[in-house]
Amino acid sequence: MTAASRSSVDVVIIGGGPAGLSAALALHQLGITNVVVLEREAQAGGVPRHTAHLGYGIRDLHRVTTGPRYAAELRKRVEAAGITVRTATTAVDWLDDTGLQIADATGISTVAARCVVLATGVRERPRAARLVAGDRGAGIFTTGSLQQLTANHHQRPGTRALIVGAEHVSFSAVLTLRHAGCDVVAMVTPLPCHQSYAPLRAATATRHRVPIITGTNVAEIHGRKRVEAVTLTNGQRIECDTVVFTGDWIPDNELARRGNIDIDIASRSPIVDGSWRTNRRGVFAIGNLIHPAETADICALDGRNVANAVAGWMATNNWPTDPLRIVVENPISWISPGAVQPRAAAALKHFTLRVSEPVADATICISQNGNVLWRCRRPRRLVPNRSISISASWLTKVDPAGSDINVTLNVGQPHK
């Protein structure tokens, strides 16, 4: 290893999407300027680069714009601040607590940092991982590959598409397909209802007269050279030449796993505390890596907020240990953050959780050692794949010497 292949920075951010770029900008505003962002793709900006419809920037830019314009604005701000972004560069392994081995077109090199922020995002579960039987003809996509095909190569994916899934990104796929001149014959979901918001459904599926078939899934795909039809688990056959698998998110956690960072079994995300700290000293995790998956502007706010926590760590060199875990019970799937540091102030103001099945008239209860710390009734139906935000006010009641925190969902229990 030559001297030229080594570098040293204060902070290295892995991932150049909305969370990573926003973190770099916020750190720069705090006076932490020796920062490098590593992005494995040829251009920073993340998924929004390929999503041509409106809906981006509401929470962070305070205006509504398209995905490509949103990503371009973040890149513009980063460039204006003089922040280094190394594209087509991958972090492949750890050297010590916060040292990394990286690879780019020139070969392997190392970067030493005082702090690492993981913002590697998520990916959709593809057809193979869903164990869908049948032929492997052309015309099978995820939302991500579909959007890259239409945005980057301006190609028409097909003429009649079936969308697998009915969460937020599934309705985004409806818009992408329609803009590309492809009809959507149906959306299918194994859940008993769609999992997005009524206005989004109205602007997409309802507007374009797309039926949503609930309680079933794709069992088999037919068509050796090109998709010709699918058979659903309910026995129904639907003629189509395109199948788009949407959502069912998997965090890009490979680097976290290599670093022996604790991973939540249910969400497959790194476990962080209220200041986005992992169990690895000097390593933070933000964005959709820790809550798969939220909108780009929510991830961007993660990036903004983690900056103060990073600055605090660099100023004090204090890294709390032995956090209390947060344990959830069915039908709660996961909660983020998944740990608390009762002896250290938390930066966040709320927690995010998801449920595995629709639940009506439920009461969320947080307890420790049998004592209720917080309780809140949710009379509106809770739906899978849709985030539920709960207050972090109960953190002040946590016993530092107590047991782990329990979060339960009691259906039909009156609020007291």
pLDDT of residue 344: 84
**CATH 3.50.50.60 residue spans of the chain:** 3-123+250-319, 126-247
Separation of alpha carbons 67 and 63, rounded Å: 12
**Contact, 82 vs 33, CB < 8 A?**
yes
pTM of the complete model? 0.95
pLDDT beyond 90 at 345: no
Q: Do you find a cis peptide bond into 331, omega within 30 degrees of 0?
A: yes
Residue whose tokens read 């925190």: 405
Separation of alpha carbons 126 and 132, rounded Å: 10
pLDDT beyond 80 at 415: no
Which pLDDT tens digit goes with each residue over 120-161? 999 999 999 999 999 999 999 999 999 999 988 899 999 999
Cα separation values, 362 from 171, 332, 359, 375, 401, Å: 27, 11, 7, 11, 30
Mean pLDDT of 240-251: 98
pLDDT of residue 3: 42
pLDDT of residue 99: 96
Residue 53's pLDDT band, with cuts at 50, 70 and 90, is confident
**Contact, 381 vs 358, CB < 8 A?**
yes
pLDDT beyond 50 at 4: no
In this structure, what token pair is assigned to residue 11?
């902070």
Residue 309 carries which side chain, given as an amino acid letter? A
pLDDT of residue 2: 45
pLDDT of residue 5: 78
Mean pLDDT of 223-245: 99
pLDDT of residue 153: 87
Interior/surface letters 224-257, b for 16+ CB within 10 angstroms, e for the rest: eeebebbbbeeeeebebbbbbbbbbbbbbbebbe
For 83: left if phi > 0, alpha if psi spans -120 to 50, otherwise beta; the answer is: beta
Give backbone dihedrals phi and psi of 227, rounded to 5 degrees, phi first: -55, 135
Mean pLDDT of 220-249: 98
DSSP-based three-state secondary structure for 192:
coil
Cβ-based neighbours of 54, under 8 Å, separated by 6 or more:
64, 65, 66
Architecture of domain 126-247: 3-Layer(bba) Sandwich (3.50)
pLDDT of residue 41: 97
Separation of alpha carbons 83 and 80, rounded Å: 8
CA-based R_g, the chain, Å:
22
pLDDT of residue 31: 98
Express as a percent the part of the chain with pLDDT over 70. 98
Beta bridge partners of 213: 188
Residue 117 carries which side chain, given as an amino acid letter? V
| Residue closest to 323 by CA, chosen among 354, 281, 292, 352 | 281
pLDDT beyond 50 at 319: yes
Secondary structure (DSSP) of 319-344: ---SPEEEEE-TTEEEEES-EE-TTS
pLDDT of residue 192: 96
Q: CA 224 from chain center: how many Å?
A: 34
The H or E element that residue 161 is part of is strand 160-164
Reported CATH class of domain 3-123+250-319: alpha beta
